[in-house]
Homo-oligomer: A and B are copies of this chain.
Amino acid sequence: MGKLREECGVFGIWGTPGRDVASAAYYGLFALQHRGQESAGIVVNDDGLFTDYKDVGLVNDVFTPQVLSGLGQGNMAVGHVRYGTTGNTDRANAQPIVVNHVKGRMALAHNGNLVNSYELRQELEMQGSIFHTTSDTEVISYIITKERLTAGSIEEAVNRTMDRIKGAYSMVLMSPAKLIAARDENGFRPLCFGQCADGSYVVASESCALDVCGAKFIRDIAPGEIVIFEKGGYRTIRDHCGKKPESFCVFEYIYFARPDSVINGCSVHEARLQAGRFLAQEHPVDADVVIGVPDSGLDAALGYSMESGIPYEIGFVKNKYIGRTFIAPGQKSRENKVKIKLNPIISVIKDKRVVVVDDSIVRGTTSARMVKVLREAGAKEVHMMVSAPPFINACYYGTDIDSQDMLIACNHTLEEIAEIIDVDTLGYLSLEHVKLLTGKDTGFCTGCFSSVYPTETPQETSKSRFEMKISEAKQEKLPL
């Protein structure tokens, strides 16, 4: 329904003896499911013996009890969930990727997008490398493997690789003897770690995955940091730390991350409440009730209510059985299509001046339908508040964007959008406030709102490369 998509979630566990690392990975990925619904994978490492399983589908569809028990016992595991595009899904692109190289095996799970993967890939192909997928992950695994030929250790190979790869990456990898987590110098994507009562270490994209494993949060991995979990505990390599200003993706707070996660010291729920408070300050309106669009608009709606004093109410019921596979056969009425997912509670809406809070407007069509549903339910006025600035630029760091042609804010003024979606007031969060969601401006990437990017962007060739990617994607397209 017109949302941006995060590319992935990663998970790793270094288990103490007796720990069921496969089950831990399962629960961790289940908690990270919102970061990717296309495919799921787990690799278990039993003293150098790797067992892996990955497939297209949700975590608990892919990992049936038999599959999970088939992964066996081990002392480490890494896992991955991958996002779902609208159309084709590709088993070949599922992660973690497992490779055999001269020094043994490696399993790699990665979240983010490189900005120089095209150049790196071309260079590797000129040396005779072959690629089975179109993913950055395979590029990264090649470079680590090449560096490993001369590096004294796997972590040294990762460290050298970080000199060469540019862009966004939060990755977890596993050699026969070590679990390694690394985050790019800008810190675009989240990555944190914690420890369980039994001594096991868990690393994950978000802290909510630590919670389900019973791991106590230790800290976020710093931008540019490499953390090595091995016999005897963990240590870090900080050669790439502090080299660049931090530029964490602010949309993680606004939409991607789970509200119960804590990132860079700030609760996602609190950041969203704050977004709502800022909205109330920026766009005060005279209204009877504040409602949020489930699920991601609820926190900001509550914040708006707190700041404005307008009562918070539950305005929509979301059908909890709706999944990504829901099909809408023979449905002509677009309003009904909204109602199938989100049905209004008439008694809350009828004859009221309603403030409705959502996290974003992408194409505008969903918003327009929702407003129509509210008006049919009897709303006297509809004031829409968006807990983010207008979304007008491409993202090069691991999210899935429609082309600019599709973005309503690229082609219309605020007034036009308000008219198109038929609201009495339309308020977006300001660029100034979005940087203060966590209380202080610690450095955020706001490229998609501001067009100011913290890294070089993919070079001139990027256009043809983009086109190539499309044709490659077509080539990759599996029938099903």
Q: Give the B-binding residues of A (Cβ under 8 A).
A: 20, 22-23, 26-27, 30-31, 33-34, 37, 49-53, 58-60, 64-72, 91, 97-102, 105, 122, 125-132, 134, 141-142, 145-146, 148-149, 208, 211-214, 258-260, 262, 267, 269-270, 295, 298-299, 302, 306, 311-314, 316-317, 319-321, 323, 325-327, 329-331, 333, 335-336, 339-340, 343-348, 471, 474-475, 477-480
The answer to whether A131 and B327 have CB atoms under 8 Å apart is: no
B131 and A149 contacting across the interface, CB-CB below 8 Å: no
Give the chain B neighbours of A91 by CB distance below 8 A.
Answer: 91
Residues of B contacting A480 with CB < 8 Å?
A: 53, 66-67, 70
Asked if B102 contacts A125 (CB within 8 A), the reply is: yes
- A70:B330 contact, CB within 8 angstroms: no
Contact B311 A306 (CB under 8 A): yes
A348, chain B: closest CB distance, angstroms: 7
Tallying the copies of this chain within the complex gives 4
- Check A49 against B479 for contact (C-beta < 8 Å): no
Determine if A53 and B478 form an interchain contact, defined as CB atoms under 8 angstroms apart.
yes
- Taking a contact as CB atoms under 8 Å apart, the answer to whether B67 and A479 are in contact is yes
User: Are A330 and B20 closer than 8 Å at their CB atoms?
Assistant: yes
Which B residues lie within 8 Å of A295 (CB)?
320
Closest CB-CB distance, A23 to chain B, in whole Å?
4
Do A302 and B313 have beta carbons less than 8 Å apart?
yes
**Distance of A326 Cα from B91 Cα, bound (Å):** 23
Chain B residues, Cβ within 8 Å of A146: 128
User: Known contacts A65-B329, A213-B336, A302-B312; is A317 also within 8 Å of B145 by CB?
Assistant: no
Q: Check A212/B339 contact, CB under 8 A, given A131-B101, A321-B60, A329-B68.
A: yes
Q: Give the CA-CA distance A53 to B56 in the complex, in Å.
A: 14
Kindly list chain B residues whose C-beta atoms are within 8 Å of the C-beta of A59: 321
B99 close to A260 (CB less than 8 A): no
List, sorted by A's number, 30 A–B pairs whose CB atoms are closer than 8 Å.
Answer: A27-B336, A27-B340, A30-B340, A31-B340, A33-B321, A51-B479, A53-B478, A59-B321, A65-B327, A65-B329, A70-B477, A70-B478, A70-B480, A100-B132, A100-B134, A101-B125, A101-B131, A102-B122, A102-B125, A126-B149, A127-B128, A128-B145, A208-B317, A211-B343, A259-B317, A259-B345, A260-B345, A260-B346, A267-B345, A320-B320
* A71 CB contacts on chain B under 8 angstroms: 479
Please indicate the chain B residues that have their CB under 8 angstroms from the CB of A102 in the complex: 122, 125-126, 128
B142 touches A130 (CB 8 A): yes
Of B27, B127, B130, the contact of A100 (CB 8 Å cutoff): B130
**Contact in complex: B347, A267 (CB < 8 Å):** yes
Contact of A333 among B214, B258, B329 (CB under 8 A): B214
Contacts of A20 in B (CB 8 A): 329-330
Distance (whole angstroms) from the CB of A236 to the closest CB of chain B = 25
- Bound together, the chains give a CA A53 to CA B191 distance in angstroms of 35
